[in-house]
Structure 1
Amino acid sequence: MKQYISPDKSRTYREKTKEVQELINTTLHILDCFGIPVENTPRRLERMAIAFLACGDIKDINHFRSVRDLNSGYALKTRGIIEYVNEHFGENISSGSYDDIRRKDLKLLTVAQVVLQSSPNSATNDSTRGYSINPVYAELLRLYGTSNWQSLVEKKLESIEPLRKKLKRERQLAKVNVTLPSGGELVFSAGKHNDLQKAIIEDFLPRYGFDAEVYYVGDTSNKYLYLETEKLEELNFFEISHDELPDVIAYSKRKNWIYLIEAVHSSGPISELRLIQLQKLTEKCKADIVYVTAFLDRKKFRQYIADIAWETEVWIADNPDHLVHFNGDKFLGPYVQR
């Protein structure tokens, strides 16, 4: 069986017992067979797997045979899921993180209807709504381990288009090719935001990056399109699965600078509030930080100019050979409080 999460890539996974690790890996294999995309960070995959297990009251490998589903009247609310995974899977998730269960951990599973809502017509914030495994998939779970299980899955689900395929089809509608400074290539989905990210990588970094290497870039259809987890961990960067990620992260070894770059099309620039958030998140980082807000053109820049924080940089893609410095006392580089 494929190893979906490597212990050296995830601290929380590594700290779990061997039995729980095996259960999580098996669960991801099952979800993969159900057509759920499993291309994500190790922590996101781990969280999805344990949330799924909670929805079926599955505590170990043998419990797949006795999985509980919506027809059995079993359903857990988001806070109940947190309590379940904390108790049975060595987690320490805050009870206040209940909204992450719905928005992140169960998102793909509910869209694919592998997990169902106990009251699907209720409001999003309805505290009585629970989550449970779809009886169609629960039936397959009870058969897991039989010699022809994958064939049974394919036959049972042949009329259901896998979520993986649906998402892949959407991403293939239009593409933008991007060349990394290292010479590698990425493929973005089409759109103004991704056009700007392409310009940042191909035009900004060669001019102002001091041989910077891209360590992270997201896509509108894939938040973790390119990610150098180990290299960021070496710099003691904050957890890459955090919601506060900028659009592009690059590192110049020559300068020991990390560039945190926001590509502004519809969302905001690095404002004073955003700067405080990023400074807090990167306070243990071993590299100096350069904060950059990028715009496609001056018109968009003028729209946001009043919001841009001091001690940051602005780059405009249609004038690529120039920078706007909000530092005051010097040119491009990290700002050190005197």
Structure 2
Amino acid sequence: MNKKQQKLIDESLAILQALDFPRAQQNERSALTLLALLNLTPPKTWKDAEGPMIGIRAILDFCRSNYGKPYAENTRETFRRQTMHQFVAAGLVVENPDKPERPTNSPKWCYQIEPSALSFLRDHFKAKTWKSELASYLTKRAGLTSKYAMEREMLMVSVTIAEGRAIQLTPGKHSQLIKEIIEEFASRFAPGSKVLYAGDTGEKWGYFDKEGLLALGVEVDMHGKMPDVVLYYPAKNWLLLVEAVTSHGPVDGKRRSELAKLFSRCTAGVVYVTAFPTRAEMARYLGEISWETEVWVAEAPTHMIHFNGVRFLGPYD
């Protein structure tokens, strides 16, 4: 690494310190991330800062190509969780400015330096006005952080899990399908059922009734891959394990075995269900769906498709 590269990294780190980021973000990784967000490479100066939309993959490429830092592919989650989440929370960065409702698991997920932060850094860092403008920016930032937090909250998908109770899931097709499973599928095919678990693309454990599962003999390993929705149907004493398919596959033979092992001690009868948003989506996976499972399609919510067996809907021994 040459002196010009190191100088920009050191200056970027000094900015993070001045903006009062926690020590966990005062490191080279976070400094390089800020430089990538501003598209700053030697021989550019801070007055040349830009505000491109950029994803985590592109940030890793930027570090390697422009600063000789070949971060491994498996560090993407570290960049996302240990740097970018904090940048977003502080109002320094905006998520998906072109499409705020973009689902978390979208390959097009991107970030952009917040416009007022861009102007502040471009116009005042390394200038005589830096100290006075820094104090002004820090004063305004609390309101900015609150503003973006409210905007993110407005985009959340509200899901009713019981009368008078709701949870908020990260926006996107997957969360919308989970909402339909709970509010449309359950009301028709498992009326009076109770939601014991609902996953979220943003936070894996979107809703988790640990005590409800323990009462059925199920102690879930936090590392176990849960189905997207778990419903307990007391009228039949059934536990319905529902996979919502928008990007990943259905309950195939392998997945059915995984779920059978995860819920092997359940005292209720276990029913395996795959939910699709449309029949066209179902057609893509038709050859993979396991026998002795059920299929529900959100666009035709009053119907079920039963894969083999003597019963329409129910557990198998």
Question: Which interval holds the TM-score relative to the shorter structure?
Answer: 0.5 to 0.7
Aligned residue among 253, 257, 265 for 2:238 = 257
Q: 3-state DSSP class of the match of 2:240?
A: strand
Equivalence map 1:160-309=2 (5 Å): 168=149, 171-172=152-153, 174-239=155-220, 241-309=222-290
Structure 1 position 319, deviation (Å) = 0.7
Structure 1 position 173, deviation (Å) = 5.7
Distance in 1 between residues matched to 2:287 and 2:149, nearest whole Å: 39
1:328 and 2:314 aligned: no
TM-score (norm 2): 0.54
Equivalence map 1:1-338=2 (5 Å): 108-109=81-82, 168=149, 171-172=152-153, 174-239=155-220, 241-336=222-317
- For residues 252-273 of structure 1, what are the alpha-carbon distances to aligned partners after superposition, in whole Å with 9 as ceiling and x for unaligned? 1221111110000011100000
Distance in 2 between residues matched to 1:282 and 1:35, nearest whole Å: 43
Deviating beyond 3 angstroms after TM superposition, the runs of 4 or more aligned structure 1 residues are 101-113, 164-171
Q: How many residues align structurally?
A: 203
Q: 3-state DSSP class of the match of 2:287?
A: helix
Kept in 1, the 8 Å contact 2:224–2:262? The answer is no
Kept in 1, the 8 Å contact 2:156–2:168? The answer is yes
Q: Percent identity?
A: 40
Q: Radius of gyration: which is bigger?
A: 2
Kept in 1, the 8 Å contact 2:241–2:271? The answer is yes
Q: 3-state DSSP class of the match of 1:193?
A: helix
Distance in 2 between residues matched to 1:172 and 1:272, nearest whole Å: 38
Structure 1 position 230, deviation (Å) = 1.1
Structure 1 position 328, deviation (Å) = 2.5
Could you list the runs of 5+ residues in structure 1 that have no partner in the other structure? 1-33, 37-54, 56-68, 71-100, 114-154
Q: 3-state DSSP class of the match of 1:267?
A: coil
Match for 2:259: what amino acid?
A: L
Q: 1:314 to 1:281 in 2, by over 3 A?
A: same
Structure 1 position 209, deviation (Å) = 1.0
State which drifts further: 182-191 or 274-283.
182-191
Distance in 1 between residues matched to 2:265 and 2:77, nearest whole Å: 26
The match for 1:12 is: none
Distance in 1 between residues matched to 2:189 and 2:311, nearest whole Å: 15
TM-score (norm 1): 0.51
Distance in 2 between residues matched to 1:106 and 1:231, nearest whole Å: 36
- For residues 161-188 of structure 1, what are the alpha-carbon distances to aligned partners after superposition, in whole Å with 9 as ceiling and x for unaligned? 89x9899568436122222244422222
Structure 1 position 205, deviation (Å) = 0.2
Kept in 2, the 8 Å contact 1:181–1:201? The answer is no
Structure 1 position 286, deviation (Å) = 1.4
Kept in 1, the 8 Å contact 2:169–2:175? The answer is yes
Q: 3-state DSSP class of the match of 1:235?
A: coil
